[in-house]
Amino acid sequence: MRLIIKPLFDVELPGGFEEIIRSKLTGKEVKTGETIEIDLLGKPLAFRVVLADPSPMKVSKNTRIEITRSEVEELTLEFDYEVREVLPFSKGLVVVLENEVRIYNWTGQKLYSREFEELKEVRVAEGRVVVVHGSKVTLIEP
């Protein structure tokens, strides 16, 4: 069991502070993404739970606790159709659906979307997307 937290305040924490956090959180349930408060000397210290593995989890004396200054960002894109293929490239990612090609930037913003009849193959080369459909080839530069 592992817990990674990020302090939401700007103070350098001393070495071994993980043990203090463990003692304050033992027996409590935490979830990835939530904000927790730990009372220390009468003052609440806020932390963001960057990762609770598993989530939710009950903190125990065996829980490995890590303090980080960075945070993992997660983005999920949902589609009405099954994803056939995903092709990452420098400008973002290409999502190939049944007969549609969509291009998204790294923040999840849709840059391009088009349906193709007889969609056969999609490739990425030098920042461009190549779509083979029927007897045609379409080049897309997002």
Do residues 57 and 90 share a domain?
Answer: no
Domains: count for the chain = 2
Rounded to 10 degrees, what is the CA torsion of 89, 92, 96, 100?
A: -130
Report d(CA 44, CA 24) in Å as an integer: 12
Has residue 76 got a pLDDT over 80? yes
Boundary-marking domain end, from 37, 67, 97: 67
Give per-residue pLDDT as tens, 2-56. Answer: 899 999 988 888 888 899 999 999 999 999 989 999 998 888 999 999 888 888 9
Do residues 135 and 89 share a domain?
Answer: yes
The mean pLDDT value for 122-130 works out to 93
Has residue 102 got a pLDDT over 90? yes
Closest CA to 140 of 114, 106, 120, 107: 114
**What pLDDT does residue 37 have?**
93
